[in-house]
Structure 1
Amino acid sequence: MDNKVVKVGLGVIIIRDNKVLLGLRQGSHGAGEWAYPGGKVEFGETIFEAAIRETKEEAGIDITDLEL
């Protein structure tokens, strides 16, 4: 039987006062580009948990009001 791996990524769009949060990417992947906070969903993690974690890691923001 073949073992198959699915990798899931996400981006978080944060809107406040009709403004959208973007961050300037660093590192080797997309350096210098503007992007939403986001990243990979870890094994056993929901997309909501990943969105909360990635936003905290990348933007230092604790989010609680999520919509899909």
Structure 2
Amino acid sequence: MDNDICASCGLEKRVTGSSVVVRGDSSPDTQTRVYNVLTLECRNPNCPDRGKQSEVWNEISIASGKDETGSS
């Protein structure tokens, strides 16, 4: 991850929350995409950016309903 290091102090951030976001699920004409969203925060008590939150979005792959041979 590129966003897991605090730009101000260089310390690794900690995960303070997570959620799952689904996009494109309201219409059969759009591709459905699922993301795991992690909320990160600097853990250094002396950092000026402590408490400032950032998010990292990781796409979760969705099975197509077919097996490895292409059959359903």
Do the two structures share a fold, i.e. TM-score over 0.5? no
What TM-score, normalized to structure 1?
0.25
**Higher strand residue share:** 2
Q: Determine which structure has more spread, i.e. the larger CA radius of gyration.
A: 2
Bigger helix fraction: 1
With normalisation by structure 2, the TM-score equals 0.24
